[in-house]
Amino acid sequence: MLNSRYVAMTSHESVIRKIFMYGKERAKVVGYDNVFDYSLGNPSVAVPDCFNEAIHEILNTQDDVTVHGYSPSLGISETRVAIARSLNQRYGMSYEEKHIFMTVSAAGAVAHALRAVLEEPGDEIITFAPYFSEYKPYVEGAGGRLVVTPADIDTFQIHFEAFEALLSPQVKAVLINTPNNPSGVVYSAQTLDRLAKILMRKSQEYGHTIYIISDEPYRELVFGGVEAPYVAAHYPNTFTCYSFSKSMSIPGERIGYIAVHPECEDADIAVQVFGQISRGIGHNCPPSLMQLAVARCADATSDLSVYEENKNILYRELTALGFACVEPGGTFYMFPRSLEPDDVAFCEKAKKYDLLLVPGTGFGCPGHFRIAYCVPTEKVIRSLEAFRQLAVEYAVSQ
């Protein structure tokens, strides 16, 4: 008999995938151009030239065993050194090779970080709504319990009163995501400092370290004029989980890392511990070719400007139509309030105009919906009429 927990999960299909598949079917009927599919966070811009050039150069100059063989279990040395150097230069940190662990993207990084801190049955991980819907399976799969702090819906910064009330001795880590999927909001330095202060005080009170697991695949997707603080610079007991998926438009290549703050508790052995965790979950040795390629362009990003252009259009036009929305500071998501309290019913109604939106309920924040605007700008512009008709339908019915 198969494991009943996983069998039960098969009947809870991802809402986002379901909407995406609906869009594919609908496109066969009305044509791809007429479906405004805002469901999936799949990057829509070209990969940076340096990444493709690096792959060609590696294939032309390195031997097959280096390129296609197993990598060392903690990652290829030149890659770990290049990433440490890049983070030190950009954020004034002092990482060394021993603090960097190569992973299969952000999902792989978070999987290792969670297992490193969860110990006893009943251990908890706290996150903040709205949160990436995969956090529940990530945490439960690692043997923990996900505790969700309700959102401050006026700012989507942290609701500190609610957070402190939930921060029990069972909490081993706080899982944060800034810039945030789905709100697009970037946590301010003030928010991070206040979080750090609480965690230091509570770690002392409870007699064990409460870590921050900082999930940052959108770190470079920040709009002009917005300051995006480096989370680990605000709290030493931080595991920074990163992925090149969004910044270089390479989610299919599955490459990322964990950076352990040099002053973190057990900083000298954390990466070794991650290596042992890999043995247990079979998530070891990320692709060698990808490790070698990112080592050569650790600072590079795609041209991300289209996301800001799309955000500007949608934010301006939707707020003019009467949608309430916290302005995103980055990512390619926004999270307006739905025009009725039932966000699922709202997104169902939007389908009538071939607008595919994701209900906020799946992100722990009902009464909202997510727009993933990683789509061509001309399509964003053509979708505005559909948003207008949807808003008119609600205005008429009131």
Binding site for ligand PLP (CB under 6 A): 41, 105-107, 132, 177, 181, 215, 217, 243, 245, 251, 256
The DSSP bridge partners found for residue 211 are 173
Residue 374 Cβ vs ligand PLP, minimum distance, rounded to whole Å: 10
Q: State which residue, 245 or 338, has the beta carbon closest to ligand PLP.
A: 245
Q: Which CB, 181 or 301, lies closer to ligand PLP?
A: 181
CB of 39 to ligand PLP, least distance (A): 12
Cβ nearer to ligand PLP, comparing 123 with 253: 253
Work out how close the CB of 282 gets to ligand PLP at its nearest, in angstroms, rounded to a whole number: 16
Using the minimum distance from each CB to ligand PLP, give the nearer residue, 181 or 284.
Answer: 181
In whole angstroms, the minimum distance from the beta carbon of 181 to ligand PLP comes to 4
Least gap, CB of 104 to ligand PLP (angstroms): 7
Q: Closest-CB residue for ligand PLP?
A: 243
Residue 143: CB minimum distance to ligand PLP, A: 19
Residue 153 or 213 having the CB closest to ligand PLP: 213
Nearest residue (CB) to ligand PLP, 14 versus 377: 14
